[in-house]
Structure 1
Amino acid sequence: MHRFIGRQRELRVLRDVLDEVRSATGPRPGGKPGQCVLIRGRRRIGKSSLVEEFLRRAEVPSVFFTAAGQPAEAELAELVEAVRDSTLPDRELFVEEAPRQWNAAFRLLAEILPDDTPSVVVMDEVPYLMNRVDAFEGMLQRAWDRQLSRKPVLLLLIGSDLSMMEALNSYERPFHQRGREIVVGPLNPADIADMLDLAPATAFDAALVTGGLPLVCREWRAGDGLWDFLRASLDNPISALLVSAERSLAAEFPPRAMGWEVLRAIGAGERTFSNIARAAGGIAHTTLTRAAELLTSKGVVAAELPVSLRPSRERRYRIADPYLRFWLAFLEPHMAEIERMRGDLTLTRIQEQWTSWRGRAVEPLIRDSLARILPDGDLPAAPVVGGYWTRGNEVEIDLVGADRQPVVKRLLFLGSIKWLEGSPFDAHDLAALHKHRAAITDDPVPLVAVSRSGVKCAGLTAVYGPEELIAAWHRDGGVR
């Protein structure tokens, strides 16, 4: 039985755009009923599966072409094969012509698209074409403006290289403003809870381990606990949990790139520039700077400053994807152990370190959840939900709600996260939060607690647990 979990916002957006195309179908001299959507997201995040599900529901003529990083001529031959296997009614005309130039292929594709009914053209892994086909963006722009957009077609351009997909639609590039954008992220905690039949607190654990990657989530048997899933995955050397990260990174970074060493250092828990440099083998300042810029531009690493009333240079780095963070911390260093069927040793190591690792790893996910809840009760909407720290961590505040970042004009609330089983947020935690608030402001800024196991004290403006946080993810977002 076919069961597709999550992505309801994205599916609705695509359906609405296709409805726009459908409503514009008909005799419109000089009209351009065509619509284009650019879909980007990290590798293995489920972009292609999303579009396949959309096509299954849409039931309109379509072609799905996937580039593979081959020379331009080979890619063109693959396009011909994709059209041959498509549901476009006049596909045989395209195959018989077998165009040998991309300009001709776009022109012929436009000619065989239906005039009186919507169709969908999907081009997956577009960054490969941008790299391999000379002047591809210019040819795509001309074909769209002159031919394709004059047909009732929805053109979907998909890519995993985030920076290149952003560039495709950026100012001064040929295809600028010709397509709307959808960013496909991981399955959110609510989707994971529904998919795997998990309680809210366990769903957050699952989000940290799987990163919301559909391929990894599918291997988690519904109703299983965290340790059941990890035990089964570590016993299977080709499980998605073990191999997905390596495949994704290999596609983005050359094997000998310095980015690998920097990534490993950050994944091992180093957060400051100097500590990362030391852990990466004492690499030069300029080399680390280039590597950090590459990793942040690709969205693999997040570089963050304290949200503060005063400027700070205490930048910290973290792995942006929770799954990759887990893989680098616990799995990648011990692959040889796992491959010789001693995943039991790896599992024991994870169990010993899990509570302390999770306490920090869950912070970005909780901040995202809280930003979705607000405004709530006495707490206003917060344009920014971040954290605050000093160089030596004498003052460290998990949650800082503010009007902007990194230097704020107005603090909206401060808060603490206590994500432990059987240990509620208590008066000692509240006293520490009061002390840290006094270190950065004299104002009576509202105080918030987020706790996995409840709260046993008074004096807080708001309290949130796993149930409230996961409910926030049921709210839909939009599309640019």
Structure 2
Amino acid sequence: MHRFVGRQRELRVLRETLDEVRSATGPRGRPGQCLLIRGRRRVGKSSLVEEFLQRIDAPSVFFTAAGQPAERELAEFADAVEGSTLPEEARELFTQEAPTQWNAAFRLLAEALPDDTPSVVVIDEVPYLMRRVDAFEGMLQRAWDRQLSRKPVLLLLIGSDLSMMEALNSYERPFHQRGREMVVGPLNPADLAEMLDLPPAAAFDAALVTGGLPLLCREWRPGEGLWDYLGRSLDNPVSALLVSAERSLAAEFPRQALGREVLAAIGAGERTFTNIARAAGGISHTTLTRATELLTAKGVVAGELPVSTRPSKERRYRVTDPYLRFWLAFLRPRMAEIERMRGDLTLARIREGWASWRGRAVESLVRASLARLLPDPDGELPAAPVVGGYWTRGNAVEIDIVGADRQPVAKRLLFLGSIKWLENAAFDAHDLAALHKHRAAVTDEPVPLVAVSRGGVSSEVGGLGGLAAAYGPGELLAAWRGTPAL
């Protein structure tokens, strides 16, 4: 069993919020505090809260909704209170008076919570209740305003449907401004390096394959290489690597087959609107627009524009979750092959396409690393509000890294850069010449240049050779230490 790693920032926020409850410094003189915790499925939200509860000395209730009929959810909630660590007399309230409405359940919960010591109430998978229980948000708001917030309680509302959790706290919704928001991302590359005992370059590979999802990382043996992990996972038809994506998609898009078809096209490598439409079966412009809006609203897909001083309509799409991107590209098309125990064939195909796929997939992770790393105290690169990329139709000009003051149309470009993420090839004079050429195509200014290379910078470049800075996996990994998750 792997020890709990990472999440120090999130645990600190939870502890500090509970301290506010303890010192009764809540808003409007009320001790109660509420946090809305959201993040993609299997990212470890529930495990984070479980770890927090184990580290504190406070009674708690942990209820997880399951998308059942409203009456059944209410009965499960009552069972959760009865089996909680609240004082015995408090738990007996739910035994003596089984509530038949959520209003009554919240009233009983408020009576059950201690008056003189902090407690924690966790409601996991809140979006299920928002869908299944009529007027749930209104009942929760009234219970919070009239009863629960008057108690020294920390209420944690957790959800995996990102758009619904954002809506819960949005303007004109009943629970607006009742809670503060916390976003839980996957484990970052530094967490993976520690958890899996991997060197920096291998930690980035692990991030691209597992997406930093704890469930997948727990199956990765410490010190194990990428290909050994993949080989074992492909030999096990119920491994987390194989089944987690399908389960997440089934929960995210239970009736939206079109959204899944478009997602599959993007995951297979199609990035432009026209090519996605063709790969998804020749669907219409209107239909594809609805599908991409659904996918971007749920945070599954990002539609990005080139960052430059000139406007562009060349939007490109990518799957935001690295694991889902890997699964869609390599595993989904070969599930039948894997199920008949020929994972060795799938592994051979992954090896064949790995360098090309990784070179594109690592770009967003590199950009995120630079955004955290800069400004560079030893170089010429400033902090950049935006770190994106630039491309033209047909990729006649393509720049992997663009640091700018805003996006997509920048007033000022801060730096430009190239990513070369190959096993045994350094950033060389040819790469530098190409970067100079592409810079000249987008600006006449002497914008600083940066190289990011898995294999370092070639000696033929001569020092930095006109580069303001050069970074490898070790420097990028350092950017994630002591910072929030991805």
| TM exceeding 0.5 | yes
The one-letter code sitting in structure 2 at the alignment partner of 1:330 is F
After superposition, the C-alpha distances for 1:323-365 in whole angstroms (9 at most, x for unaligned) are 0000000000000000000000000000010000000000000
Structure 1 SS opposite 2:479: helix
Which structure 1 segments of 5+ residues have no match? Answer: none
Contact 1:401 1:411 (C-alpha < 8 Å) held by counterparts: yes
Contact 1:302 1:319 (C-alpha < 8 Å) held by counterparts: yes
After superposition, the C-alpha distances for 1:367-408 in whole angstroms (9 at most, x for unaligned) are 000000011132111000000000010000000000000000
Runs of at least 4 residues off by over 6 Å: none
CA displacement at 1:256 relative to structure 2: 5.8
The one-letter code sitting in structure 1 at the alignment partner of 2:435 is L
- What is aligned with 1:83? 81
- What is aligned with 1:401? 403
- What is aligned with 1:459? 466
- What is aligned with 1:303? 303
- What is aligned with 1:260? 260
- What is aligned with 1:56? 54
Distance change (3 Å), C-alpha of 1:256 and 1:2: closer
2:116 equivalent to 1:116: yes
CA displacement at 1:157 relative to structure 2: 0.1
- What is aligned with 2:415? 413
- What is aligned with 2:392? 390
- RMSD over aligned Cα atoms: 1.3
The one-letter code sitting in structure 2 at the alignment partner of 1:156 is L
After TM superposition, the structure 1 stretch with the greater mean CA deviation from structure 2, 121-130 or 252-261, is 252-261
- What is aligned with 1:449? 451
Where in structure 2 are the equivalents of 1:39-438 lying within 5 Å?
A: 39-89=37-87, 90-254=90-254, 257-377=257-377, 378-438=380-440
Structure 1 SS opposite 2:63: strand
The one-letter code sitting in structure 2 at the alignment partner of 1:376 is D
Task: Give the distance between the partners of 1:13 and 1:244, measured in 2 at CA.
Answer: 29
The one-letter code sitting in structure 1 at the alignment partner of 2:159 is G
Structure 2 SS opposite 1:36: strand
Contact 1:411 1:445 (C-alpha < 8 Å) held by counterparts: yes
TM-score using structure 2 length: 0.96
After superposition, the C-alpha distances for 1:276-307 in whole angstroms (9 at most, x for unaligned) are 00011101111111111111111111100000
The one-letter code sitting in structure 2 at the alignment partner of 1:398 is D
CA displacement at 1:459 relative to structure 2: 1.2
Task: Give the distance between the partners of 2:61 and 2:173, measured in 1 at CA.
Answer: 26
2:477 equivalent to 1:470: yes
Structure 2 SS opposite 1:362: helix
Structure 1 SS opposite 2:137: helix
Contact 1:68 1:125 (C-alpha < 8 Å) held by counterparts: yes
CA displacement at 1:58 relative to structure 2: 1.0
Contact 1:83 1:95 (C-alpha < 8 Å) held by counterparts: no
CA displacement at 1:5 relative to structure 2: 1.3
Structure 2 SS opposite 1:473: coil
The one-letter code sitting in structure 1 at the alignment partner of 2:227 is W
The one-letter code sitting in structure 2 at the alignment partner of 1:65 is F
The one-letter code sitting in structure 1 at the alignment partner of 2:195 is M
Task: Give the distance between the partners of 1:332 and 1:405, measured in 2 at CA.
Answer: 34
CA displacement at 1:477 relative to structure 2: 4.2
CA displacement at 1:23 relative to structure 2: 1.4
Structure 1 SS opposite 2:395: coil
Contact 2:375 2:383 (C-alpha < 8 Å) held by counterparts: yes
CA displacement at 1:255 relative to structure 2: 5.5
CA displacement at 1:96 relative to structure 2: 1.4
Task: Give the distance between the partners of 1:5 and 1:326, measured in 2 at CA.
Answer: 24
CA displacement at 1:31 relative to structure 2: 3.7
After superposition, the C-alpha distances for 1:144-179 in whole angstroms (9 at most, x for unaligned) are 111000000000000000000000001111111111
The one-letter code sitting in structure 2 at the alignment partner of 1:454 is G
The one-letter code sitting in structure 1 at the alignment partner of 2:425 is S
CA displacement at 1:2 relative to structure 2: 7.2
After superposition, the C-alpha distances for 1:85-141 in whole angstroms (9 at most, x for unaligned) are 100101111221111111111111001100111000000000111111111111111
Task: Give the distance between the partners of 2:2 and 2:425, measured in 1 at CA.
Answer: 41
After superposition, the C-alpha distances for 1:203-224 in whole angstroms (9 at most, x for unaligned) are 0000000000000000000000
After TM superposition, the structure 1 stretch with the greater mean CA deviation from structure 2, 393-402 or 63-72, is 63-72
Contact 2:2 2:218 (C-alpha < 8 Å) held by counterparts: no
The one-letter code sitting in structure 2 at the alignment partner of 1:383 is P
After superposition, the C-alpha distances for 1:425-444 in whole angstroms (9 at most, x for unaligned) are 01111110000000010000
Structure 2 SS opposite 1:65: strand
Task: Give the distance between the partners of 1:79 and 1:254, measured in 2 at CA.
Answer: 25
Task: Give the distance between the partners of 2:32 and 2:161, measured in 1 at CA.
Answer: 25
Task: Give the distance between the partners of 1:358 and 1:31, measured in 2 at CA.
Answer: 53
CA displacement at 1:24 relative to structure 2: 1.6
Task: Give the distance between the partners of 1:267 and 1:33, measured in 2 at CA.
Answer: 47
Task: Give the distance between the partners of 1:369 and 1:111, measured in 2 at CA.
Answer: 48
The one-letter code sitting in structure 2 at the alignment partner of 1:253 is F
CA displacement at 1:254 relative to structure 2: 2.6
Task: Give the distance between the partners of 2:241 and 2:105, measured in 1 at CA.
Answer: 40
Structure 1 SS opposite 2:394: coil
After superposition, the C-alpha distances for 1:48-69 in whole angstroms (9 at most, x for unaligned) are 1110000010131000011111
Task: Give the distance between the partners of 2:10 and 2:29, measured in 1 at CA.
Answer: 27
Task: Give the distance between the partners of 1:351 and 1:165, measured in 2 at CA.
Answer: 39
Task: Give the distance between the partners of 1:93 and 1:280, measured in 2 at CA.
Answer: 55
Which structure 2 segments of 5+ residues have no match? Answer: none
The one-letter code sitting in structure 1 at the alignment partner of 2:236 is N
Task: Give the distance between the partners of 1:242 and 1:357, measured in 2 at CA.
Answer: 18
